Chain A
Amino acid sequence: MMKHPDETIDQGRRDWFGLAAAATAAVAAPGVILHLASANTAPEAQPASSAVRWGLLIDTNKCTSGCRDCVDACDRENGLDLQTKPPTEAPTAWADQKAVWVRKVKLADGLTGRVTNLPLMCQHCEHPPCVDVCPTGASFKRADGIVMVDRHICIGCRYCMMACPYQARSFIHQPMHDQLTRVPRGKGCVESCNLCVSRRDHGLPSTACADACTAAGKGAIVFGDLKDPASPISLALKAMPSRQLREDLALNTGVRYKGV
């Protein structure tokens, strides 16, 4: 069968495409190889693993009145100290509107009058009500047990804040100007303690609050892997009685308290 004149092969065109493909490969290959190489080793490139479950143990006997080192450390670590009060807003209103991840609470027993101090933050539930109610799935639980908010799909409906039994979530009410790269923050989204997730993803030990508590000589906050029977937190939990806040809700919290 005779070839149609239009179907003759244009060798020059083929050569040009070949050259272009080779050049592209030569430019892209080092980047791809580097990326693959780094992906295999860098902790931040690893997905969160369900082999661990991060949690905190708070020994309220060691927590003291007036100390707010954990709160201040959290504020610095997570850029919460960079929030600025809108100039015309009343300080009392601002106190209720600014984001707070950890708060100190001082309790007195109704019967005995015994006073207890403790830090209260997101309890990182195994069955988090905030995750159940979130319409878009922005409020989610990682494989390693950390409950946090995907700020890309949070629409700011605040239903998770209605659902949280610990009032642990904050809504960003005001425009943000300064923020940390590791903790991006935008007006109109909800956020809460994420157990210093940036540290987790970079393979660093501990949380800012636990470090600050240790540095202050209190050691009231122990951070660790609840699934590792040899971790300090697991050993401490095994050795002493502890409880969950609102354990009637059967949420199996990742944060446990001693002495409440």
Chain B
Amino acid sequence: MKRIVYREWHIPPARYWGILGILVSVMALGGLAALYLEHEGHWVTGMNNFVVWGVPHVFAVFLIVAASGAINVASIATVFGKGAYLPLGRLSGLLAVTLLIGGLLILVLDLGRPDRLLVALTHYNLRSIFAWNIYFYTGFVALVIAYLWSMADRMGARFKHTLGVLAFGWRLALTTATGSIFGFLVARQAFDTAFLAPMFVIMSLAYGLAIFILVLMFTFHQEERVLGDQLLRRLKNLLGVFVAAVLYFTLVYYLTKAYGAKNYDLVGWLLFGGGGYSILLWIGWILIGTLVPLAMFWHPRTRRDRRFIAVACALVILGGLAALYVILIGSQVYPLQIFPGQTILDSGFADGIKVADSTYHPSLPELLLGLGGVAVALFLTAVGVRVLQFLPDSLADAELPADTEEPSAGKVSYVDDLATG
């Protein structure tokens, strides 16, 4: 087996600075949006006392969920002994950290009082899954950085398997907890189900891997490094399985919701009567984000074409944003059932009497804040791969390590010794 060599990303400076320039511009716009929100208050957003979490949360939750999915590529090598994924571990760890930081930045900057971040870090209500998540997120960043060190440094190599297993367990807990933020909301019909926790885990696998494949293809293509057809096919097939699994979870989520008479109206509204939300669900989430990419991944005429694979990954990401928009915002827009069996004729607070579709209109600052978080994640990734050895020199199929038959600690550390670049 050949030794894996990692190398910094040396694309021509003009192109590199061009990429950074674009990302910094988007970050600056996001920063300005955050300042504007902080200065003016949230009245400049589309959020209100009914829809309290808007577009920034869609981006933030997407990035956080994708971060926990991105680390899976490393886990597949370390925990499950698939040698071909071994050279991808470092980029996987880097993306996991940068995506999480991007997502958390959005969350923090959307707070009513972002200046009180220190309060959030010093006052804990341990009955709150939100408070738990603060530990899960910070712990995840620390753990993945240690994991990266074990991948990159000979000294750390003997801890790699342990750290890899820990990171894998931690990411499952993290995404479960993120899904539980919504699952624990007993008051709201569309949430209030433990099913959201595993659903978020399965979504994380799909969205994290889609981002990973796109970043891998882009960085390798820009520098003309070799990315083997077999490896890309494996990644693509795996993503296809994850996307199909998300579809399965989506079906089960709506079917189980539709089973109880009390939810007939909710499911009917979300699927058919929800105007923009229903359109987004069917066109964005199911068609563009699921069925079209699945067709591209496996149709004989497109499955080997890298352009189609890249487009399909992008569609999975867009579909993921659409899915979270429907799950997060659609579920808030649907009125609370405080008075079952009663029709609300009039209310000083518009409970359930408004055309639900019109209670939330996202504003530009919200969108810029969300995009700013994405730009932060990509910026940190671009800087990371440029200054440190995250990317393998070659991912030619012939040069990939073989799978270890048993993912035992001993065997993996043997492979790691050879692999340390």
Contacts and interface: CB of A to CB of B under 8 A. Distances in A.
B350 A153 contact: no
Contacts of B290: none
Contacts of B347: 103-106
Contact of A162 (B52, B123, B343, B346): B52
Contacts of A171: 42, 49, 52, 112
B185 interface: yes
Interface residues of B, number: 49
A97 B117 contact: no
Contact of A187 (B112, B123, B125, B343): B112
B338 A165 contact: yes
Contacts of A93: 43, 48
A155 B341 contact: no
Interface string B168-209: 000000000000010011111000000000000000000000
B50 interface: yes
Interface in B87-119: 111-114, 116-117, 119
A68 interface: yes
A188 B53 CA distance: 13
B342 A174 contact: no
A1 B130 CA distance: 68
B19 interface: no
A94 to B, nearest CB: 8
A167 B41 contact: no
Contacts of B128: 132-135, 159
Given A156-B113, A173-B41, A245-B339, A163 B345 contact: no
B186 A165 contact: yes
B49 A100 contact: yes
A14 B236 CA distance: 84
B43 A245 contact: no
A156 B111 contact: yes
Interface in A125-184: 129, 131-138, 153-159, 161-167, 169-175
A95 B128 CA distance: 30
B349 A172 contact: no
Nearest to A152: B119
Contacts of B350: 95-96
Interface string A73-108: 000000000000010010001111101101111111
Given A108-B342, A116-B342, A136-B124, A97 B49 contact: yes
Contacts of A110: 341-343
Interface string A106-127: 1111110001100010000000
A189 interface: yes
B187 A249 contact: yes
B291 interface: no
Given A156-B112, A165-B186, A107 B336 contact: no
Given A86-B43, A167-B336, A260-B339, A161 B346 contact: no
A167 B48 contact: no
A109 B332 CA distance: 24
A58 B43 CA distance: 33
B48 A173 contact: yes
B113 A135 contact: no
Contacts of B341: 109-111
Given A111-B341, A155-B116, A161-B49, A249 B43 contact: no
A195 interface: no
A173 B43 contact: yes
Q: Could you say which of B114, B128, B188 has the most chain A C-beta atoms within 10 Å of its C-beta?
A: B128
A246 interface: yes
Given A105-B344, A153-B123, A167-B349, A129 B186 contact: yes
Given A89-B43, A135-B134, A136-B123, A108 B187 contact: no
Interface in B323-352: 332, 336, 338-339, 341-351
B345 A108 contact: yes
B48 A157 contact: no
A209 interface: no
A71 interface: yes
A190 interface: yes
Given A71-B348, A108-B345, A135 B125 contact: yes
Contacts of A169: 49
B120 interface: yes
B413 interface: no
A162 B128 CA distance: 13
Given A71-B348, A109-B341, A155-B119, A136 B186 contact: no
A57 to B, nearest CB: 18
Contacts of B49: 96-97, 99-100, 161, 167, 169-171
B127 interface: yes
B130 A133 contact: yes
Contact of A153 (B41, B119, B130, B359): B119
Given A68-B348, A103-B347, A188-B41, A245 B338 contact: yes
14 contacts: A96-B359, A103-B347, A105-B347, A108-B343, A137-B125, A156-B112, A157-B130, A163-B186, A171-B42, A175-B40, A188-B111, A189-B113, A245-B339, A246-B338
5 nearest A-B pairs in the assembled complex, by CB-CB distance: A156-B112, A188-B112, A165-B187, A103-B348, A96-B48
Given A135-B134, A164-B187, A170-B49, 14 more contacts: A103-B347, A104-B347, A105-B346, A115-B345, A129-B185, A136-B124, A154-B116, A159-B130, A163-B185, A166-B187, A173-B43, A175-B40, A188-B111, A249-B187
